[in-house]
Structure 1
């Protein structure tokens, strides 16, 4: 279930975590999936600017790392939904303080300047 892409190459826990969430879109996918499960097209609309190819690749990697669950329903037309696994919810909880820091120290500074 969990794929370690760089076995033995990590120097600390932050290095390992950054390997899982690295890239422009993964944390935004996690943020969107924190609200509810999404179908691919819905998720893509939630992330303006992401291409289908990149979103599909990012979701695949998050699924391989055990962060995202892909549920394919046996329906016509086919329906696939993406949601967070317990590991993904735990990762979002771990990222919450980082988001608070960004709101306070980056976004807050921009609001004060504006």
Structure 2
């Protein structure tokens, strides 16, 4: 199986995504710089072997400039959610703090395998 070599071309990944286990054989076409696959039904398919240079951002600052506002909003939403959950947890702990029956019930559910009476 030629597509399981240690050094794979990008075209092989594209062809595997398109056709899966219907590929019988693959070969590298040096003239066109692409991978050609022969399929189960006898047809051929080609995929380019290069990735466009313009698709990858040059620096992390370019990514942060485009996605920074979205990431900041998601961090703010997560922070508000975490503070809300923490406030609810502390409020519930405050209500159950003075009630010994609720505290013993919480203790019983916290450790169900604890042997009582040792």
Same fold (TM over 0.5): no
Give me the TM-score of the superposition, normalised by structure 2: 0.27
Give me the TM-score of the superposition, normalised by structure 1: 0.28
Q: Which has the higher contact order (CA 8 A, sep 6+)?
A: 1
